[in-house]
Structure formats: C-alpha cells, structure tokens
C-alpha cells in the first residue's frame, strides 16, 4: 500500500526550509540517525540540482511504501546531457559540482533517473536500516 506523505512545489531560495520539512516527515515515517541524515542529504542534492540545472524550480513528492520512504524530485529543465551515464565513482579532483547524483546513488537503497528534453525526474528510496 502506498501512502502519500508530502507533495510540494519548490524554488530557488526555499531549499533550506524544504530540507527541514522533509527531515520532519522522514523522521515521522521511521527514518532515524544516519539513515535520516543520508536521506535528507540526498533530498538536498537533488532539489539543488533541480533549481540550478532544471529551470529554477521543481516538485517533490514523498510517500511510504513497503517499509521504505520514497522521494521523487522533478524539474522542467533541458535534461541530462546526451551520453550522460551514472558514475560509479565521484568526480575527480576539485571539480565543482557533479557529485549530487553520485551521492544520492551512494546514500540511498534505490535510485531511478529519467531524463529528457522536457525535464528530469529522480526517484530514490531509503528504509529504516
């Protein structure tokens, strides 16, 4: 059974308050300690990507299903660059950026990325541990 926990539209300048709201909802859904911190960090990275690369705003949905908390972040940007592939390792050196999707894949149990010319949707999940 799927239960909607949160659904919001967000924009540049509202990531901090969104992160707090997600942390509160995730804690109510049973995430705690490092799992909660990792989930909130992943939310921060993906929502930041949406505002920086995806047109300045996005939508976020949280839901609980099968013992996991799921998050979906969508934007209406140009999508990931042609030929983009999910890196197994973090970007090398002191490059600024390029770590958000890698971190999310590292921190969460499941990650799905769908991207095209009308936007990108990143869906990820974390369980109680």
Angle at 25 between CA 39 and CA 14, to 5 degrees: 75
Higher per-residue pLDDT: 95 or 82: 82
Q: Which two tokens stand for residue 107?
A: 């921190």
* Predicted pLDDT of residue 83: 76
The domain total for the chain is: 1
Residue pLDDT, tens place only, 29-65: 999 999 999 999 999 999 999 999 999 999 999 999 9
11-21 in b/e burial notation, b at 16+ Cβ within 10 A? eeeebeebbeb
Identify the CATH number of the domain in which residue 94 sits.
3.30.565.10
Mean pLDDT lowest among 24-28, 73-77, 87-91: 87-91
Percent of the chain's residues with pLDDT above 90: 74
15 — phi, psi (to 5°)? -65, -40
In which domain, by residue range, is 96 found? 2-126
pTM: 0.90
């Amino acid at each position: 059974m799927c239960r909607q926990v949160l659904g919001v539209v967000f924009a540049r300048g509202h990531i901090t308050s969104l992160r707090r709201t997600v942390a509160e909802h995730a804690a109510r859904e049973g995430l705690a300690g490092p799992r909660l911190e990792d989930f909130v960090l992943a939310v921060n990275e993906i929502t930041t990507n949406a505002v920086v690369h995806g047109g300045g705003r996005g939508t976020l949905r949280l839901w609980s299903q099968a013992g996991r908390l799921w998050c979906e972040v969508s934007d209406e940007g140009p999508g990931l660059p042609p030929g983009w592939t999910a890196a197994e390792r973090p970007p090398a050196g002191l490059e600024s950026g390029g770590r958000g999707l890698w971190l999310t894949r590292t921190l969460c149990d499941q990650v799905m990325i769908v991207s095209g010319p009308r936007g990108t949707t990143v869906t990820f999940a974390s369980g109680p541990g």
